[in-house]
Chain A
Amino acid sequence: MTKRIDFATLVLPLTGIGVMLLIWTMISTTIARDLPSPMKTWEESKLYILNPFFKDGEMNQGIGRFAFLSLIRVAKGFLLAIIIGTPLGFLLGLSGVFHRTFDPVIQILRPISPLAWLPLGLVIFRQSEPAAIFTIATCAMWPTVINTAVGVRSISPEYLNVGKVLKLSRLKTLRRIIIPGSLPYVFTGYRLSLGLAWLVIVASEMLTGAPGVGGFLWQEYNSLVYSHILLSIITIGLIGFGLDRLMGVVERRFKTA
């Protein structure tokens, strides 16, 4: 029994990673000669991985340090996104008038790329750091807004009827029924928002040249150290995966019934 679980949870995923490395090696030895092979990438990145927290100048730091800087930036943007997005979502879900007034605006703002928001942020804030956080927050907010609104609207009428029969005040209905009833949706929104925030970080660091995984990636591209691009990409992927898992755990805690 345990052996079968090991096979499904360990052997199969490792096989998938192996196949990926094989494809990567094949591409680097045939079509794209400039692409470093997995071995070469490891050789040239060793220093950054084995000593992840060294610092030798602003743009030459261990990958752990860069990741930390990016995570701080993402955390700020994500917090801003959910602080604005959650109440906005509740308003949209609760009020038909509010929904009809602002839903079109939201639907127009939602698909705008971070690459478009960032210059606007620079115009408004004149500094790269607040502009980056502004961009992350603006892009990452929408899943929270929309999921919260859907969560409020999908609360079972049975629960609302309980509130009506008990003649609960509006505030009490909100606190006892609507907020707890929509929490699972809200946290799904948070998970998606965090994923987006992490997606946006690379773009915003590239454009602002801020130190972080994305900034490092862009700098190493310009310095022609291609293996470090791959190092950054893998780091971004692993951290994104970890964040999603983390939020998944939080999300499951709020699943009721």
Chain B
Amino acid sequence: MAYLEIRGVDKSFVRTQRAAAEGSGWLPVLRDINLTIDENEFVCIVGRSGSGKTTLISLIAGLLEPDLGEILLEGKPIDGPGPDRGVVFQNYSLLPWMNVFENVYLAVDAVAPHLGESEKRERAEHYIRLVNLGAAMKKVPRELSGGMRQRVAVARGLAMDPKVLLMDEPFSALDALTRATLQEELARIWMETRKTVVMITNDIDEAILLADSIYTLTSSPGATLGPAVHVETAHPRSHAQLSREPSYQRVRRETVSILTRGEKDSAAGSTPERQGILLN
């Protein structure tokens, strides 16, 4: 049975308040999104910036509601945000007035209030050590580099022990070297935790390094998901290993071709429908 399922989800945004009142200002962002994810699967969704990737992750997180369709977790429709879907936000979203430990502890305390004080501390410390920040427990976000902040955000997401971990372009703001290190580290951490992960990215290589399945999102307006590309190489993978792997180039070509083909289709097919929306 599917663990996380997205069924026929549509989402539009208001262009301007006045245009919406006239009924013509709706900008379709996502159209007919269908996605089925198994437990312990690592799924990457690849798309260009502005293609509605963040909208999709916000819908799964419950921070936005779909106009049409539904999202099910373990067969039950999701109802608003909740700690069973941990989120690692694009810009870290660490609370600047709390240190590393307190940021992670806040999450542990929120999802496991029944635990004793020392157990909660232990759990927070465990995840901070897991992302190699044991020495920075008492530092506040402003004292940390971008890469370290993102580690804290990952630790916070994992410490919630969610059913699904949602990651919204977690490494896009980092320099290339830091990004490569963190990607491999995430591969290692994922091996240890085997969480179900949905990760949004604009980096195809990152997707190939981490994911079991890669889906492409065509460009907005009215973006939709392409077919899955499966990555068969065993986990954990490293950048060095992938560059030697013959299947790597094939997977990469396949993903790129779906991405470009999907965009041509949507560009060609969208005109009458878009007019239809304007006429409504």
Contacts and interface: CB of A to CB of B under 8 A. Distances in A.
Contacts of A177: 95
Given A158-B89, A176-B106, A256-B142, A164 B81 contact: yes
A167 B82 contact: yes
Contacts of B85: 165
Contact of A166 (B80, B96, B98, B111): B111
Contacts of A165: 61, 63, 81-83, 85-87
Interface of B: 61, 63, 80-83, 85-87, 89, 91, 93, 95-98, 106-107, 110-111, 140-142, 160
B81 A180 contact: no
Contacts of B83: 165-167
Interface residues of A, number: 17
Contacts, number: 53
A161 B97 contact: no
A181 B81 contact: no
Contacts of B81: 161, 164-165, 167
Contacts of B106: 166, 176
Contact of A162 (B80, B93, B141): B93
Interface string A156-195: 0011011011111000100011001101000000000000
A257 interface: yes
Given A161-B87, A177-B95, A180-B97, 10 more contacts: A161-B63, A161-B81, A165-B82, A165-B85, A165-B86, A167-B110, A180-B98, A181-B95, A256-B96, A256-B140
Given A158-B93, A180-B95, A257-B141, A164 B110 contact: no
9 closest Cβ pairs, A-B complex: A257-B96, A166-B110, A180-B97, A158-B93, A256-B96, A164-B81, A256-B97, A165-B81, A165-B87
28 contacts: A158-B89, A158-B91, A161-B63, A161-B87, A161-B93, A162-B93, A164-B80, A164-B81, A165-B63, A165-B81, A165-B82, A165-B83, A165-B85, A165-B87, A166-B83, A166-B106, A167-B81, A167-B82, A167-B83, A168-B110, A177-B95, A180-B97, A181-B95, A183-B97, A256-B96, A256-B97, A256-B140, A257-B96
A94 B46 CA distance: 38
B55 to A, nearest CB: 14
A176 to B, nearest CB: 6
Interface centre among A166, A172, A181 (most CB of B within 10 A): A166
Nearest to A161: B63
Contacts of A158: 89, 91, 93
Looking at chain B's contact residues, the main secondary structure is loop
B224 to A, nearest CB: 25
Nearest to A172: B110
B138 to A, nearest CB: 16
A168 B95 CA distance: 14
A137 to B, nearest CB: 29
A167 B110 CA distance: 7
Given A167-B83, A176-B106, A257-B142, A181 B97 contact: yes
A162 B81 CA distance: 10
Contact of A176 (B61, B93, B95, B141): B95
A162 B98 CA distance: 13
Interface in A231-257: 256-257
Contacts of A176: 95, 98, 106
B245 to A, nearest CB: 36
Contacts of B142: 256-257
Nearest to B93: A158
A51 B82 CA distance: 68
Nearest to B166: A165
A44 B266 CA distance: 87
B246 to A, nearest CB: 41
Nearest to B89: A158
Contacts of B107: 166
Contacts of A183: 97
A116 B171 CA distance: 59
A197 B142 CA distance: 35
Contacts of A159: 93, 95
A159 B85 CA distance: 17
Nearest to B110: A166
B33 to A, nearest CB: 21
A164 B85 CA distance: 11
A256 B80 CA distance: 30
Contacts of B111: 166
Contacts of A181: 95, 97
Interface centre among B61, B81, B89 (most CB of A within 10 A): B81
Contacts of B93: 158-159, 161-162
